Every structure is written in C-alpha cells, then in structure tokens.
Amino acid sequence: MWHHDPGFLDQIEQAVQTIESTTDAEIVVVVASASGDYPGLHAFLAGMWSMIIGVVLILVPFTITPIDLLISLFLSFWMAWYLLDLPKARPQWISIFSRYRRFAVTQHRAVLRRAREEFVLEAVHGTPNRSGVLVLVSAAEAKVVVIGDLGVQGEVPEGELALAQRRFDAMTRDDFLAGLHELGRVLSIHLPHGPESDDVDLPNAPRVKP
C-alpha cells in the first residue's frame, strides 16, 4: 500500500503545506493500517478454521480420542486467533472482507469512531480559532473520513466537505492527492488565509499509525 511509501508521504506533506498557505485551516492527515479489531469476524474466522481442522481429524484413517479432538480444536482455534491478530495479517483479512456489504456498516462505524479518536489525540481541536481539519485514511477498510472542527463547520457548507471527501474514495495515489487539493480549494474559499493563520502550525507530515 502507498501509505508505507516514504516518498509519497513526503508528497502528502508538501501538499498540506501548499494548501495551508491559502487557508486559515490546519490540516492533519492520519494514516491508519486499520480502524477496528472486529472481534466477531475474528472469532468467526478462527472458528471456521478450527472446524476444518476438526473435520480433517475425524476423517483421518486412524483413531483419535475425544480428548485429543477437543484439545486439537482448542489449540487450532487459538492459533488461528493469534495469526489473524498479527499486525501484518489483520489489515489483510479486514481488506478482503471489506468487499462484503454485510460488513460495510460495521466498518463505517469503526472508521468513524477511529476518526473521532484521532481528532482528539492529534489535538485537531486545539487551534485558537477551531479551524482544524482531520483527514483519516483507514487503509484496510479503504476509507477516508474528513472531520472539520467547529470553526470549519460554521464556515464551510457540510455538502461541500462531503463532496471533497468523495474525491478520496478510489484510494489511489492520484485520487488521494486530488482529494487533498479539492479539500484545500473548498477551505481557501470559505476560510481564506489571514494574519491569524500563522498563530498555530501543526506538523504537516502525515501521522502513520497501526
């Protein structure tokens, strides 16, 4: 994924710097590998793997005692759980299941919750005129959420922010940069750069997180 490419992260930083020279808003980009743990799906996958192991053990041409079968099922379940929970594995299986509509609502809630958490953790609300804007990229779910602080919400029509957010949807490099610049265009119209814009300067580099 592009979020592991230092060169592209530098491009994002430069884009944020350029945008902030035209607007009073402060943009913070957070790139997360995944937004949720999805314990229900986690348990389902581990249970399915354990069931497959159980069927294989039942069909093998030698005798297995009930105790051995139970122990094998228990160990296979927790081994699958452990492997699914590895930092490199979790985004992969979340990404696979992100294609299913029945998983979409759970994903949407997880990404929105993560965005709200990062909004506070990264002090996006800490600008003097409440003009911070968070752009959360959740790679495994292939989703982007844009949240503006109160000063942004009061000046920028909600529909325009929503339209700018849609430009990110394809999650390709070009589309992400296009989304950033569209967001910057909207912000520069409704929150143009002024003398107070230099009172606070949050780091422009994207924050890359698990």
pLDDT tens for 2-20 read 667 788 899 999 999 999 9
Q: Which residue has the tokens 């994924």?
A: 1
- Confirm whether 93 is domain-assigned: no
29/46 same-domain check: no
State how far the Cα of 12 lies from the Cα of 14, in Å rounded to an integer. Answer: 5
State how far the Cα of 185 lies from the Cα of 16, in Å rounded to an integer. Answer: 12
Averaged pLDDT for residues 38-65: 86
Contact between residue 140 and residue 209 where contact means Cβ atoms under 8 Å apart: no
78/50 same-domain check: yes
Averaged pLDDT for residues 156-160: 87
Residue with more model confidence, 127 or 145: 145
49/119 same-domain check: no
Domain span at residue 68 reads: 39-86
Compute the residue count for the chain: 210
Strand partners, 133: 27, 148
Contact between residue 57 and residue 64 where contact means Cβ atoms under 8 Å apart: yes
Is the pLDDT at 170 greater than 90, yes or no? Answer: no
**Whole-number pLDDT of residue 97:** 76
Averaged pLDDT for residues 12-39: 90
* Residue 186: pLDDT band with limits 50, 70, 90: very high
User: C-alpha angle with apex 106: 29 to 163, nearest 5 degrees?
Assistant: 45
Strand partners, 32: 138, 209
Least confidently predicted of 8-12, 56-60, 206-210: 56-60
**Whole-number pLDDT of residue 5:** 79
69/134 same-domain check: no
* Residue 165: pLDDT band with limits 50, 70, 90: confident
**Whole-number pLDDT of residue 121:** 94
28/118 same-domain check: yes
**Whole-number pLDDT of residue 7:** 87
**Whole-number pLDDT of residue 11:** 92
**Whole-number pLDDT of residue 103:** 76
User: C-alpha angle with apex 148: 206 to 179, nearest 5 degrees?
Assistant: 55
Structural domains in the chain (count): 2
**Whole-number pLDDT of residue 200:** 63
150/180 same-domain check: yes
State pTM to two decimals.
0.81
State how far the Cα of 133 lies from the Cα of 125, in Å rounded to an integer. Answer: 8
